[in-house]
Chain A
Amino acid sequence: MSWVVSASILVVDDEPNIVLSLEFLLKQAGFRVRTVSNGEAALAAIAEEPPDLLLLDVMIPGRDGYAVCQEIRSNPAWRDMRIIMLTAKGGDIQREKGLSLGADEYVTKPFSTRELVERVRRVLDRQG
């Protein structure tokens, strides 16, 4: 369980206000947190240092969340990385698309921050 607490998380979202909250709460929960605001920056940050978990918004500038997710899953080195998609696209088909392309969880906005932190823990725990 101890590694879960120290796990690294990359938050990919172009809404600064949500990033502000997520960063604060995840850090408070003991995670190491980095943030980027678009797809290309996310892939660069992952290449630099792969996080244990990615909190990935779907509608981000440049390559969207689906494309980033698919690219991560196509790289064997990153196959074990946990991905939680965060999105304002709430349809069942979009959810199915996200999961089909390799996301571990698909969380629709708005969400409870407390539940999100719990979910991050659960998904990381699954890996452990």
Chain B
Amino acid sequence: MARDRTVTGIVGALFVGFTTSLVIGFAILAFTLDEGAVRPLATTAGGLLAIFLALAGLIVQRLARPLDRLSLDVLIVARENLSHRFALGTRHWLGKLIQGFDTMRDRLTGAEARGAQALAEAQNQGAEQKRWLEAILLDLTEGIVVCNLQHQVLLYNQAAAELLGAAQNFGLGRSLFPFLAREPVLHALERQMQRLESGWAAPSARFMCGVAGGQRLVGARLGIVFDAKGGPNGYVISFAELSEEETALAKRDDLLEMATEELRAPIANLRAAAETLSQNPDLPDAQRAVFQKVVADESMALSRRLEALARGYRELGGARWMMAEIHSNDLITSLIRRLTGTPLQLTPTGLPDWLYGDSLSLLILLELLLRQLHSATGCEVFDIAVSRGDNRVYLDLVWQGEPIPAGQLESWLSQPLIGGLGPLTGRGVLRRHGSDTWSQSAGGGTARLRIPLASAQTGGPRERPLRPQRPEFYDFDLLVHPVPTGRFTDRPLKQLTYVAFDLETTGLRPTDGDQVVAIAGVRIVNGRILTTETFERLVNPGRQIPEASIRFHGVTDEMVRDKPPFAVVLPAFHLFAADAVLVAHNAAFDITFLHRAAAGMLHFDQPVVDTLLLSAHLYPAEADHSLDAIAARLGLHVVQRHSALRDSLLTAAILLRLLDRCEERGITRFGQLAAASDMAAQLRAHQHELERHAAGSAS
């Protein structure tokens, strides 16, 4: 450890050391000299010593001591008092140094004053903003809590503490979760993060959440808080008492139930009795009296129920359940994540869609049903199929085996759900979604549990408007040489594995240098579209994407700038499509691009099914065989983020429908299908030739 030394001390020590050395030196010299030579030496040495001591005194007085004094003063200025003056008098050699220190001190004083002023202003501003924020937060009946991503509370208002029933223990820096149920918050956060990643950020996620140990529910919204760089670094939850709202909603449900169910029965009784009386004027008196009594009793009962209904309705508020648009893929991904660590395997199939509901309660319900199905049937492997009906999206859990009896299903639904949703049961969740569930045979030795949910037709993010259709593409080489069917010839259609795919390109002419900008595909196994077994890549075409083609696919130069070229993407797609029959709409177009890019590198030797040709074969009377026209005819609907994957999914769904039609017409083997397609191709080629000739002779 360094000791504090003064300059005076150091200089003094140096002089003492030097003087002592000098004296000792003279003494030693004196011993070696004659007695006569010692005297003059001593005189000279004494003189030198006197001069040296005088010089030393001067240095200590004018330099060392002032320096020590100055260092003390500087310390006082630096540590305690910026306006402290240097008290060195005039007898020193430190003029420039003192001047320099004085200037520095003055500048520091100025900077400090300006800093203090800025700080005071900022503090005032901060205090004012804080007062505003406090006033707003205090005035809100909604609870507000801001947390970091470690779920520690950074800010909250009084309403939050009161709503959470936690006025005593709630506080900054503490975890949110003893007070608000963990699972709904984490799920809402996950949903928002998913949406952020997919580029579909909604302002906030709505959800319901248990508080006070699950005794009550609050309706909440969660929004992400971003740091200065735009990355998520926390979240804000606003929430309001739902129990009053919930009571009102429960009452509304009761009233609706009364109106739609309880009233039906007495009206039916009344109507039946009245009609019996009017249609049978010759009824014996005794029987007539019985029916007349029914009319009187039921009329009275009806009046009473109607009064109760009207009274209840007047007392109702205008509350709404906490529903939001959910993408089926997000729901199913979360469900699969929840099942991690269990023996249950879930395969998503069908066409993804938007539905309307409360994400977490649906998730917990689906998990409950899967676990119960597993323990009732012993099955570990399930499909979860999404399909669209009239204004509804069906979620089907599908397994090998028998349907579940309605009574057993009802007992599963009557259990309270676990997972931070208060006192809700599975039946309650279904009722809240205006839904029901049942189990029935799904053919082929499988059974399903069906949950119909409202389709979010208007709620979900807008679909891309219908784009112009790609013109029908002909490659006569492909048409002249029939598609080889190889080992697939005798295979039943539905047992084959297919990959429906679609390319987006810079233009329509591969021979003129047009390139691929996107490729997507989806696998179809055993007649099921495997929703999550998809391939989707953007590709850098190495040239500018013309504005005209952006209109087709929406892929811009910006989007592909850092993407790999097709030569890099193609081997991955080759692997994805291995052993599968390729399926494309207007396939000649996509296959031409694929083969040109693969030339000399890869070989796509599997057969190709063209849904355009297949549709032309099955529906010869229809004029329009574009993807969207066929989809509209078959009532198919795909919501998807990017056009290549959307078209792949649509092509897959169209293929499955067309395969059903094929089977109805006795086309059951792949060889027959290929022959039918070839026939359609030849026909269309002839038609095309005729049209060209007609156009040529007209001009």
Chain A interfacial positions (CB closer than 8 Å to B): 15, 17-18, 20-22, 24-25, 28, 59, 63-64, 66-67, 69-71, 74, 88-91, 93-94, 96-97, 100-101, 108-114
B434 near A91 with CB under 8 A, answer yes
A93 near B269 with CB under 8 A, answer no
- Within 8 Å by CB of B406, from A24, A64, A113, lies A64
Interchain residue pairs A-B with the least CB separation, the first 3? A21-B272, A88-B264, A109-B264
B264 near A100 with CB under 8 A, answer no
Q: How far is the CB of A128 from chain B (nearest CB, A)?
A: 26
- State which residues 430-462 of B face A: CB under 8 Å: 434-436, 438, 440, 450, 452
Complex contacts, A91 vs chain B, CB 8 Å: 260, 434, 436
A113 near B271 with CB under 8 A, answer yes
Smallest CB gap from B261: residue in A? A88
- Cross-chain pairs A/B with CB under 8 angstroms, 22 sampled: A17-B297, A20-B273, A20-B291, A21-B275, A22-B272, A24-B287, A28-B280, A64-B407, A64-B410, A67-B406, A67-B407, A70-B406, A88-B260, A88-B262, A89-B260, A90-B264, A93-B452, A94-B436, A97-B438, A109-B265, A110-B270, A113-B272
Q: In the complex, given contacts A64-B407, A93-B452, what are 15 additional A-B residue pairs having Cβ atoms less than 8 angstroms apart?
A: A15-B268, A17-B269, A21-B273, A21-B291, A24-B287, A70-B403, A70-B405, A90-B261, A91-B260, A97-B436, A97-B438, A101-B406, A110-B267, A111-B271, A113-B279
Any chain A CB within 8 A of the CB of B294?
yes
Complex contacts, B262 vs chain A, CB 8 Å: 88
Q: How far is the CB of A81 from chain B (nearest CB, A)?
A: 17
A25 near B438 with CB under 8 A, answer no
A101 near B261 with CB under 8 A, answer no
Complex contacts, B298 vs chain A, CB 8 Å: 17
Complex contacts, B452 vs chain A, CB 8 Å: 93, 96
Any chain A CB within 8 A of the CB of B495?
no
Complex Cα spacing A101 to B279, Å = 35
Any chain A CB within 8 A of the CB of B623?
no
**Given A15-B269, A17-B298, A93 and B436 touching (CB < 8 A)?**
yes
Complex Cα spacing A100 to B452, Å = 12
Complex Cα spacing A19 to B198, Å = 58
B410 near A93 with CB under 8 A, answer no
Q: What secondary structure prevails in chain B residues at the interface with A?
A: helix
**Given A67-B406, A67-B410, A114 and B265 touching (CB < 8 A)?**
no
A18 near B450 with CB under 8 A, answer no
Complex Cα spacing A128 to B290, Å = 36
B440 near A17 with CB under 8 A, answer no
Complex contacts, B269 vs chain A, CB 8 Å: 15, 17-18, 21
Smallest CB gap from B262: residue in A? A88
Q: How far is the CB of B688 from chain A (nearest CB, A)?
A: 45
Complex Cα spacing A93 to B392, Å = 10
B260 near A90 with CB under 8 A, answer yes
Bits for B5-45, please: 1 = Cβ < 8 Å to A, else 0: 00000000000000000000000000000000000000000
Complex contacts, A109 vs chain B, CB 8 Å: 264-265, 267-268
Complex Cα spacing A100 to B441, Å = 9
Complex Cα spacing A66 to B291, Å = 30
Q: How far is the CB of B437 from chain A (nearest CB, A)?
A: 8
A100 near B438 with CB under 8 A, answer yes
Any chain A CB within 8 A of the CB of B276?
yes
Complex Cα spacing A96 to B273, Å = 29
- State which residues 274-290 of B face A: CB under 8 Å: 275-276, 279-280, 287, 290
Smallest CB gap from A39: residue in B? B407
Complex contacts, A96 vs chain B, CB 8 Å: 452
Smallest CB gap from B275: residue in A? A113
Q: How far is the CB of B433 from chain A (nearest CB, A)?
A: 10
**Given A22-B272, A112-B275, A89 and B406 touching (CB < 8 A)?**
no
Complex contacts, B406 vs chain A, CB 8 Å: 63-64, 66-67, 69-70, 101
**Given A20-B290, A96-B452, A111 and B438 touching (CB < 8 A)?**
no
B268 near A101 with CB under 8 A, answer no
Complex Cα spacing A21 to B435, Å = 32
Complex contacts, A113 vs chain B, CB 8 Å: 271-272, 275-276, 279
Chain B CB within 10 Å, residue with most, of A28, A100, A108:
A100
Complex Cα spacing A20 to B263, Å = 18
Smallest CB gap from A67: residue in B? B406
B271 near A110 with CB under 8 A, answer yes
A114 near B279 with CB under 8 A, answer yes
Chain A CB within 10 Å, residue with most, of B268, B403, B405, B438:
B268
A111 near B268 with CB under 8 A, answer yes
Complex contacts, B279 vs chain A, CB 8 Å: 113-114
Complex contacts, A89 vs chain B, CB 8 Å: 260-261
Complex contacts, A25 vs chain B, CB 8 Å: 272, 276
Complex contacts, A21 vs chain B, CB 8 Å: 269, 272-273, 275-276, 291, 294
Complex contacts, B403 vs chain A, CB 8 Å: 70, 74
Q: How far is the CB of B677 from chain A (nearest CB, A)?
A: 36
Q: How far is the CB of A88 from chain B (nearest CB, A)?
A: 4
Complex contacts, A101 vs chain B, CB 8 Å: 406, 438, 440
- State which residues 235-274 of B face A: CB under 8 Å: 260-265, 267-273
- State which residues 397-433 of B face A: CB under 8 Å: 403, 405-407, 410
A24 near B294 with CB under 8 A, answer no
**Given A67-B410, A101-B406, A17 and B436 touching (CB < 8 A)?**
no
Complex Cα spacing A114 to B275, Å = 8
Complex contacts, A112 vs chain B, CB 8 Å: 271, 275
Q: How far is the CB of B498 from chain A (nearest CB, A)?
A: 29
Complex Cα spacing A52 to B262, Å = 29
Complex contacts, A108 vs chain B, CB 8 Å: 264
- State which residues 287-311 of B face A: CB under 8 Å: 287, 290-291, 294, 297-298
Complex Cα spacing A68 to B195, Å = 45
Q: How far is the CB of A51 from chain B (nearest CB, A)?
A: 20
